[in-house]
Structure 1
Amino acid sequence: MKKQPVLITDAARSQDAQLRSRQIRYVSMMAVRAGCLILGGILISAQVPLLPLWLALCALGMVLLPWMAVLIANDRPPKSKEERAADQAAREDVRRALEEPRPAEPEHVTIDSEIVEDPEEGYATRRRGD
């Protein structure tokens, strides 16, 4: 018998594992729906007592189960307290960032210079403008 590994983290289940469990729930609910259809056919041929009640229950299962299966299959697991707290903190950070006034942009300083030939030195130098 294969042993399951010990869980040492509180990380959420992977997306693939969540999808697989939702697929299994969906298929099992659709199997129950098919069972309702088969059971309804058997009940009609067997002529059991309270037949209208049993047929109504089977019909109700065949109508409601697909709707419930789709809702359950599309639902993700509930968030933990830590995930909800992290989401709230992220929303609070965004709200604060949007409310903070932007700092004024600094005035850009332009430095003007010109190239001057220095006859004594023999090369061109830059002189700052006034």
Structure 2
Amino acid sequence: MKQRPAPQPILITDASRSQDDQLTSRQKRYVLMMGIRVACLVVGAILVGAKVPLLWLWLPLCILGMVLIPWLAVLLANDRPPKEQHRLAGKFQSRQRDDTPPMALPTEEHPHKVIDAEP
């Protein structure tokens, strides 16, 4: 009796993160970035109220942060890791690339027999 090869174990480290974990991390990143945006608004208001030196430098930086951060936050919140191809899809693609069938013999080793109907 021929023994079957043992099945390959599934490595837990190769498993992708669950949808809920991905969503939670994107939500945390979004809230953090929006918190930075609020901080830019508060710092800008304090700078204007205190009339600090170099206000012409600090205020545009705060405004730039208030304008760019929401755009980046939305982009990063909607970003997901790319979907992995199905495991079987890779096997079918590799077979399609190889033009020879898996059990075919080369033509030199297996000559064709010609049967003629007329003697």
Normalising by structure 1, report the TM-score: 0.56
1:16 aligned partner: 20
Unaligned runs of 5+ in 2: 1-10, 97-119
Does the C-alpha gap of structure 1 residues 8 and 86 become closer, same or farther in structure 2, counting only changes over 3 Å? Answer: closer
Whichever structure has more strand as a proportion of its residues is 1
Q: Percent identity?
A: 62
User: Taking CA–CA contacts closer than 8 Å with sequence separation of 6 or more, which of the two structures ends up with the larger relative contact order?
Assistant: 2
1:47 aligns with 2:51: yes
Distance 1:21 1:57, change over 3 A: same
Pairing 1:74-85 to 2, within 5 Å after superposition: 74-78=78-82, 83=84
C-alpha distance in structure 2 between counterparts of 1:69 and 1:10, whole Å: 28
Match of 1:60 in 2: 64
Using the alignment, how far apart are the partners of 2:42 and 2:48 within structure 1?
10
Higher gyration radius (CA): 1
Please give the root-mean-square deviation of Cα atoms over the aligned residues, in Å.
2.8
